[in-house]
Structure 1
């Protein structure tokens, strides 16, 4: 059972431990909750996109094959919000933490988000598990057209200039496998992880929901920072911290004044 840290004294002890230990392999997993302060909604939290769409289909592999324009009608308009969004204090705290010169330490930031805000904040070793909504690719896996940067607010699927098949957002939909390179990089980092920090994630979407188990198997100290408690509590998290990421991460990870 995870310990919950909610008051100032407990948070200070947690901060002290994070600073005192010479972590060798840090893995951070982020979900949509870290971007709420940037004006972007969550997916499964209160008021989340999939909560609001309970009566509708969620975008999955079948929708992409059957109605590619339907996928664009859901995700294309979101690009307007991504263009207007800026990294918040939580993104910046993680980027600053990664940038500190710590001999022998490796740092991997694995994100389920498709908003590109970690890279914009300055994080370097970012693994995008679900791709990026700021890119477009061909829906034909045999086409060979590389994904390209695209901020167009498309609402209809357009044909690929190379093969004629419908273009699609470069994101992973429900019932689709993760990008091979991204999944490999995440699992490789977890194999030697000694500190695992999950931020702003519901912990219910596989396979990312199983990453904490891999980190725990490797002997890592495991922390969850989220606005709401995980239900049910995951036995492989040692610590659960409740609060806003943009407030807590600068405090927990920031250098002493």
Structure 2
């Protein structure tokens, strides 16, 4: 015998707009672009300050042991805070950038012109926290004390591509070297001795042999439009702001630039 069943289960209604307490801030149009620009420089499993893109004094910042980079978004109203890389990727996935955000120190609540909303955070969340005034002072003091552009070297896209091609291999040593004429990196096939040395001609204003973290150096090369190697830390400009690359102690194992090989 056939029976007809009527589905009487209650269905959830569409979610109501979230009610969030906190300060409301208009977002500049390039806010998400700035986050996306700086996201590749976020470091994992390092000091907490290195795990985020920071909002400090109305600018976006990356602050690591090797690099300090700012991105001018033209807004001085936003509070000091920070966002993690996973949340930044979600914001990048939207077709348009959000127009405003409500921030209550525990949660970001983003709004779009078409009514879309996205929030993250909450008590105990690791994706958002207040960037302290200490971080703000450290970033500002670093630029005030060290940023110098009395002399600099322009760098073209073709030069950037060649440097990154020659020195971006996964087996390369963690450090990279530079003198006034060339860039040098080393590779060890057996993990004990340097089996290959690679150099790229690069005329610049360095006055000595300099040593850097290779990944940080290549990150700078990727975005920089002009670089001053006559300062320590090295100062550079990019399309949206400024940056500094920390020089490492030279050490006793300096390479011979004359022995480099080019592929």
Which TM class, normalised by the smaller chain length? under 0.3
Higher helix share: 1
TM-score by length of 2: 0.23
Higher strand share: 2
TM-score by length of 1: 0.23
Structure with higher RCO (Cα < 8 A, 6+ apart): 1
Find the structure with the greater CA-based Rg.
2
